[in-house]
Amino acid sequence: MSRGFRVVEPGLLASVQDLGRPGYARLGVSRGGAADRGALRLANRLVGNPEDAAGIEVTAGGFSGYAESPLLVAVTGALAPVHVDDRPASTNAPLSLAAGARLAIGRPTAGLRNYVAIAGGVTSEITLRSRSYSRLGGLGAALAPDDLVPIGTGASASPVVDHAAIPSPPVDATTLAALPGPRRHWFSDEAVAQLMATTYRVTAELDRTGVRLDGPAVPRCREEELPSEGMVRGAVQIPASGRPIIFLSDHPATGGYPVPLVLTPDAADHAAQLTPGMTVRFALE
């Protein structure tokens, strides 16, 4: 019997993700990787993997699969029902799967993305020093029914905790910490004050590329065109509509609209768990 995890139902989107492929922006390839890096790191720690080991990112639940050999796994991220062979199981905790045992993740009640780490790490093909799927970069492929996810032979360390006590993802009114962006001067002090004071609503236009927000337009004080420049995860871009877009892991390598704010790494992780209808505000650190 092979050492791996067999996908039965991938749900809306399931893919292999690690911490991405830094260093290729000059080639037009953004870093990518897990949308919520903190959740993937935690899942890996819980099963004794290095933090940068590849795991499975699950979007909006509806995911299931079974172990083709005994496996130690952990599920982190969104607050979602988890079952092993139809028995409720814990998130943020190591779970032992016997050969043939089925793991299922239901629809989240808070947050959007879950992460499944498996002791030994996912050992799928490496492209540009990463195993991560990137739709925008055309690298890899999303997981499909009956895919076998290959798993390494062992973790580098034994788990030393049986549960990680962390807060559940918020269901509304999230505050995202940010730093001034490279194009803060394209906006007046009054416009920046408006941006920071506004409560925005998360629209249905969200994916691994970014999250579009709805609210009052943010005017800029310069009218000339901005040449394309490098983008990073967490950049808050103000397009022609004046309504902010938060870039996530699969953001384009460059952009042509000004960026007055950039989220902190933790806030970018939180942004990856936003769902339509939630409200968010920005706060300068």
Q: For residue 168, what pLDDT band results from cuts at 50, 70 and 90?
A: confident
pLDDT score for 27: 86
Q: Report d(CA 219, CA 284) in Å as an integer.
A: 19
What's the pLDDT at 15?
A: 98
pLDDT at 22 over 70: yes
Q: pLDDT exceeding 90 applies to what percent of the chain?
A: 84
Average pLDDT, the chain: 94
pLDDT value for 272:
97
Q: What is the pLDDT of residue 157?
A: 64
Least reliable range by pLDDT among 17-26, 42-51, 147-156, 263-272: 147-156
E strands within 68-188? 71-79, 82-84, 87-89, 94-97, 102-105, 110-118, 148-150, 174-180
Architecture of domain 174-284: Beta Barrel (2.40)
d(C-alpha 263, C-alpha 247), whole Å = 9
CATH of 4-150, one of 1.10.3470, 3.10.620, 1.10.150, 2.60.120: 2.60.120
Specify the DSSP class assigned to residue 25: G
- What is the per-residue pLDDT for 253? 85
CB 99 within 8 A of CB 93: no
Domain boundaries, the chain: 4-150, 174-284
Q: Is the pLDDT of residue 181 over 60?
A: yes
